[in-house]
Chains A and B, each alone.
Chain A
Amino acid sequence: MSKKEIGLALLLIVIGGITAALNPLFLSGVNLLNMANLIGLFGIFAIGQGLIIITGGIDLSVGSIFALLGVVLVDLLVNFELAWPLAVLAVLGAGLVLGLLHGLLVTRLKLQPFVVTLCGLLIYRGIARYYTQDSTIGFGYAGAELDTLAWLASGRSLGIPNPFLILLLVAGVMAVVLHRTVFGRHLYAVGRNEEAARHSGINTDGVIMGAYLLGGGLAGLATVLLVFYTSSVSPSSFGSFYELYAIAAAVLGGCSLRGGEGSILGIVLGTVLLQILQNLVNILGIPSSLNFAVMGAVILMGVIADRQLGLRRQRIQMTRSQPAAAE
């Protein structure tokens, strides 16, 4: 664990401790499992977002991808009555294709990721609404043939919500990919200094493309889980703003928007913090209207504290190494 992650974990413990002290029900099994479920849902695409942020990019389109792939999924299952494994594969594949598209636009046409994915945000939302003629679609009249998929996506195994288990799996795999493989090493190098990576013979475009592909695939996976969490998709609001939750989780978890920094553990802890914040608003009976304000205030405090601690560490290091670097 890096210092950043330890700091974040401490912040989690402090906030969790205060909440539990004010209302012990915070630590009740039911509440913890509910939170685990939501952490699973939001953590999966936050990891995808984090990978893209590490390359120095950003993905603003995830929320709209959820709406578009969500309506496609429901439509395939309910109206086309496609077998669920095929429908799920189609949605995962579509997520990969969208990621590939973003990656190509960013690397081949050298467009800025912010612009590419901002356009994605608008386009996918628009297509989703047009496709459904702006009506909410869901599993309301669907039969029992979806029970297996519904269990996989929203059920529990040994009492643990499946989305949380899926997150653990995804986080484990991605942690190995990011922290142990050549691809992960190259991802960090490209994020920190793309030119130096290119001068070392690294296929920088391929690495960046890989990050967008993974981001798209994870967004597809998250779509399936989110759709089964709500059982219905209203194309104009489904997933709206979720890209910001993902970005906030990644930034809280130590990713720098300049790229090259961040870890899977940090992103997961960032997601946990965000979910705790939303939960404590309800558990402590804080008016719902303050929900966003509480979230924003805690993130801001976290980032300020991190920055100040970082500067202090830097100063201490500077004074230590000053003589060596005096010239």
Chain B
Amino acid sequence: MAPLLELKGIGKSYPGVRALDGVDLCLEAGEVLGLIGENGAGKSTLMKILGGVLPPSEGRIRIAGRDRASLSVAEASAAGIAFVHQELNLFDNLDVAGNVLFGRESVRGGPLRLLDRRAAAARVAPLLRRLGADFAPETPVAELSIAQRQLVEIARALAAEARIIILDEPTSSLTLSETARLLSVVKELRTGGTGLIYITHRLGEIIDCADRVVCLRDGRLAGALPREEIAHAAMIRLMIGRELRALYAPPGRAAGAGGLEARGLVTPAFPGQAVDLHVRPGEILGLAGLVGAGRTSLARSLFGLDPPLGGAVLLDGRPLRLASPREAVEAGIYLVPEDRKRDGLVLDMPIVENVTLASAPAYARFGLIRRAAEWAASEAQRAALRIRAPDSAARVGDLSGGNQQKVVLARWLSMAPRVILLDEPTRGIDVGAKGEIYALMRALADRGVAILMISSDMEEVLGVSDRILVMHEGRISGGLEREGFSEQAVLRLAIGEVPAPDAAGQQESLPA
């Protein structure tokens, strides 16, 4: 039987540059193909070609035995290719069935072509059952969590009778348990004969579900791994062409006294729960938990975005009044937000203005900003953080995710940080840049900054933190010291179980 999809010698050239060069790819029915590669390796370009968004410069695409020189979006869709995107493409104002059947709605006869809601629900319900969804076809999408929306996207692909489903970073916004469920859905689809291409930066997921791994590097095929050879070290070697240093760097100094302390803090998201937390200068405190456990609300309250309803926040033992981020910033408490494009950066502004956004008055004399001074400060940060851009005049929106995150960090590093709250600091950032950001965090901690890192990436939580606190439904369900770190222990606390005394004994080997 012919493979579902075969790419031969696909190349894509832009004036002066080859984004893709001679890429071969093959997908069989009932196979999960892991596609990995650093940002800029050409994964998105390849997927755009498959989706009919970009025409290839050369090569051929063969779908179910039929050759095609290129595809249009409509042809790709008709050929049974469906995408589940990193950024979800759902209509918030429609219900689940409306989204799943969008473009192929159930209609009653007659000239008005009225929508037949009952028929639509009847068509969608079995798809949702198959995916193990816990919501009804009539649920408005606006009420769904990100994980549930992901399932809606997959249901949409199933409704379109897609033979080939491409999942592009599907778990970047999911919690651990939601990720586990998605992976079981992927396996279920595979048994049904669908071919899946699974793109992710989270190598653990590849190990869990992929039958084969293909890695792109600099627009070329860097190599492929069969099922039995899939392992962290091998994949990282393929992606960056060398071994990655160990994730964990031990602290260069002992955690000091003082730091940021929350006593009986009540956040607006969980008015019934009080949180106690203490992050000391020089340590990286990991804050783990399911999405919705209250970690982001806690960080927002500590930063003054959602002023706390009760309790106290102390910095070096002195109580703070946090009515707005202004007070937090003045006290030296900085937040690196989860959604850097929405909350962290002004994408249309150059690097320099983003770096000095929070500290412009410091560069002003008589209210007038001294351009040379802020430029020098920004260039210094750009060099120190190795932000890849020609100079500080580059528009931040044109930078890669990792470099954008470094700009957010540069803003705070150019000031006087006492406490830095990082919310999912490496989401959507490639492996190489991740390492740089971890190194920066460690260097900051060694300078005496207290660091609180919220993360849903298990590798990151276990690999970077000096200490872990886990949240469950708005409260701290437990803490772990470095020697007690294990995936199971974190997971149990995250779902609200008190860990068994022997939890530390089940410690998993960490990627080295």
> Which A residues lie within 8 Å of B41 (CB)?
327
A140 proximal to B (CB < 8 A): no
Give how many A residues have a beta carbon under 8 Å from the other chain's beta carbons. 31
The segment out of B230-238, B245-253, B260-268, B344-352 that lies at the interface is B344-352
> Which B residues lie within 8 Å of A200 (CB)?
325, 329, 357-358, 411
A198 to B38, CA, bound (A): 32
User: In the bound complex, do residue A192 and residue B368 qualify as a contact, i.e. CB atoms below 8 Å apart?
Assistant: no
> Which B residues lie within 8 Å of A325 (CB)?
40, 398, 400
Taking each of A201, A202, A319, A322, which has the highest tally of chain B beta carbons within 10 Å of its own beta carbon?
A: A201
For window 241-273 of A, CB contacts with B under 8 Å fall at 260-261
> Which A residues lie within 8 Å of B330 (CB)?
201
Given the known interface contacts A196-B346, A326-B44, the answer about A181 and B364 at a Cβ–Cβ threshold of 8 Å is yes
The segment out of B11-19, B58-66, B99-107, B492-500 that lies at the interface is B11-19
- Hey, what's the 0/1 contact readout for A279-297 against B, CB within 8 Å counting as 1? 0000000000000000000
Of B15, B324, B343, B398, which contacts A203 at CB under 8 A? B324
User: In the bound complex, do residue B360 and residue A322 qualify as a contact, i.e. CB atoms below 8 Å apart?
Assistant: no
- Hey, what's the 0/1 contact readout for B322-336 against A, CB within 8 Å counting as 1? 001110111000010
The segment out of A32-40, A81-89, A92-100, A183-191 that lies at the interface is A183-191
B43 proximal to A (CB < 8 A): yes
Of B42, B348, B398, which contacts A192 at CB under 8 A? B348
User: In the bound complex, do residue B343 and residue A195 qualify as a contact, i.e. CB atoms below 8 Å apart?
Assistant: yes
User: In the bound complex, do residue A183 and residue B17 qualify as a contact, i.e. CB atoms below 8 Å apart?
Assistant: no
User: In the bound complex, do residue A260 and residue B325 qualify as a contact, i.e. CB atoms below 8 Å apart?
Assistant: no
User: In the bound complex, do residue B367 and residue A183 qualify as a contact, i.e. CB atoms below 8 Å apart?
Assistant: yes
User: In the bound complex, do residue A326 and residue B40 qualify as a contact, i.e. CB atoms below 8 Å apart?
Assistant: yes
A327 to B201, CA, bound (A): 12
Of B326, B335, B348, B369, which contacts A181 at CB under 8 A? B369
User: In the bound complex, do residue A199 and residue B349 qualify as a contact, i.e. CB atoms below 8 Å apart?
Assistant: no
User: In the bound complex, do residue B329 and residue A185 qualify as a contact, i.e. CB atoms below 8 Å apart?
Assistant: no
A144 to B39, CA, bound (A): 76
User: In the bound complex, do residue B326 and residue A203 qualify as a contact, i.e. CB atoms below 8 Å apart?
Assistant: yes
Smallest distance from the beta carbon of B339 to chain A beta carbons, Å? 9
Smallest distance from the beta carbon of B366 to chain A beta carbons, Å? 9
User: In the bound complex, do residue B367 and residue A189 qualify as a contact, i.e. CB atoms below 8 Å apart?
Assistant: no
For window 295-322 of B, CB contacts with A under 8 Å fall at 303, 305
A200 to B305, CA, bound (A): 11
User: In the bound complex, do residue B346 and residue A327 qualify as a contact, i.e. CB atoms below 8 Å apart?
Assistant: no
B381 proximal to A (CB < 8 A): no
A28 proximal to B (CB < 8 A): no
A180 to B374, CA, bound (A): 12
For window 208-251 of B, CB contacts with A under 8 Å fall at 219
User: In the bound complex, do residue B347 and residue A193 qualify as a contact, i.e. CB atoms below 8 Å apart?
Assistant: yes
User: In the bound complex, do residue B344 and residue A182 qualify as a contact, i.e. CB atoms below 8 Å apart?
Assistant: no
Q: Which residue of A has the minimal Cβ distance to B367? A: A181
User: In the bound complex, do residue A323 and residue B44 qualify as a contact, i.e. CB atoms below 8 Å apart?
Assistant: no
A186 to B363, CA, bound (A): 13
User: In the bound complex, do residue A319 and residue B326 qualify as a contact, i.e. CB atoms below 8 Å apart?
Assistant: no
Of B342, B347, B348, B400, which contacts A324 at CB under 8 A? B400
User: In the bound complex, do residue B364 and residue A198 qualify as a contact, i.e. CB atoms below 8 Å apart?
Assistant: no
B3 proximal to A (CB < 8 A): no
> Which A residues lie within 8 Å of B38 (CB)?
327
A163 to B286, CA, bound (A): 62
Of B346, B369, B430, which contacts A189 at CB under 8 A? B346
A176 proximal to B (CB < 8 A): yes
Given the known interface contacts A324-B400, A326-B40, A327-B39, the answer about A201 and B358 at a Cβ–Cβ threshold of 8 Å is yes
A197 proximal to B (CB < 8 A): yes
B31 proximal to A (CB < 8 A): no
For window 162-192 of A, CB contacts with B under 8 Å fall at 176, 180-183, 185-186, 188-189, 192
Smallest distance from the beta carbon of A325 to chain B beta carbons, Å? 7
A321 proximal to B (CB < 8 A): yes
For window 17-72 of A, CB contacts with B under 8 Å fall at none
Given the known interface contacts A189-B349, A200-B411, A327-B43, the answer about A180 and B368 at a Cβ–Cβ threshold of 8 Å is yes
Of A182, A195, A199, which contacts B360 at CB under 8 A? A182
A195 to B45, CA, bound (A): 31
B353 proximal to A (CB < 8 A): yes
User: In the bound complex, do residue B400 and residue A202 qualify as a contact, i.e. CB atoms below 8 Å apart?
Assistant: no
> Which A residues lie within 8 Å of B19 (CB)?
322-323, 326
- Hey, what's the 0/1 contact readout for A202-227 against B, CB within 8 Å counting as 1? 11000000000000000000000000
User: In the bound complex, do residue B342 and residue A195 qualify as a contact, i.e. CB atoms below 8 Å apart?
Assistant: yes
Taking each of B45, B305, B348, B364, which has the highest tally of chain A beta carbons within 10 Å of its own beta carbon?
A: B348
A324 to B398, CA, bound (A): 9
- Hey, what's the 0/1 contact readout for A303-327 against B, CB within 8 Å counting as 1? 0000000000000000111111111
Of B328, B342, B368, which contacts A201 at CB under 8 A? B328
B193 proximal to A (CB < 8 A): no
15 inter-chain pairs at a CB distance below 8 angstroms, sorted by A residue, are A181-B369, A182-B364, A192-B347, A193-B342, A199-B343, A202-B358, A203-B324, A261-B348, A319-B14, A323-B17, A323-B219, A324-B398, A324-B400, A326-B42, A327-B39
